[in-house]
Amino acid sequence: MARRTAAPPSVAALITRLEGLEQRVLQLETGRVGPGDGRAAVAKRTRTVRRCPGCGLPLRRRNGRCAACKRPLDSI
């Protein structure tokens, strides 16, 4: 492989990474997510949020048009 790597990680570093991964697996198995984990927010907004077909932003109507890109919305 052409991939360049620096010095191989030490055993202690690997153990530290393994412990971190075990912690994440445990959180996934128990359905919890750690603080600052983006997955919790993503799961919340899987609810139906209408988005503008023009700009893809969450739809905010203004005078029958998208407030962001001014696309006419009478077709949707």
List interacting residues with Zn ion (CB under 5 A): 52, 54-55, 66, 68-69, 71
Least separation in angstroms between residue 58's CB and Zn ion is 9
Give min distance, CB of 14 to Zn ion, in A.
Answer: 48
Q: How far is the CB of 52 from Zn ion (least distance, A)?
A: 3
**Cβ of 73: how many Cβ atoms within 10 Å?**
18
Task: Determine the Cα–Cα distance for residues 51 and 74; give it in Å rounded to an integer.
Answer: 14
Tokens of 14: 């690997």
Of the pair 34, 72, the CB lying nearest Zn ion is at 72
User: Token pair for residue 28?
Assistant: 């996934």
Instruction: Indicate the residue among 17 and 51 with the shorter CB distance to Zn ion.
Output: 51
User: For residues 18 and 34, what is the distance between their CA atoms, to the nearest angstrom?
Assistant: 17
